[in-house]
Amino acid sequence: MLPKDPNMLLSILNMKLRDFYPSLEALCDDLDEDREEIVSCMEAAGYHYDPDTNAFIND
């Protein structure tokens, strides 16, 4: 289960994307997480997923 705090979530997501998963879709499938919920939470905190860098980056 991923944390709900956007700052902690950002750190964990980017670490997992960098070290373990080739895409956000792969991460969500493996961890059984809702992609839209993650994207929505990150967008509310000012970040968006960039598939080219496979990371959440600041808008």
Quickly list DSSP for 26-57: HHHHHHT--HHHHHHHHHHTTEEEETTTTEEE
Question: Backbone phi, then psi, for 22, in 5-degree steps?
Answer: -80, -10
H-run or E-run covering 16: helix 6-19
Higher pLDDT, 40 or 59: 40
Q: Is a pLDDT exceeding 90 seen at residue 49? A: yes
SS3 label, residue 2: coil
Q: Is a pLDDT exceeding 90 seen at residue 1? A: no
Task: Write the pLDDT tens digit of every residue in 17-46.
Answer: 999 999 999 999 999 999 999 999 999 999
Q: Is a pLDDT exceeding 90 seen at residue 59? A: no
In the chain, where the domains are located = 6-58
Who's near 53: CB < 8 A, 6+ residues apart?
Answer: none
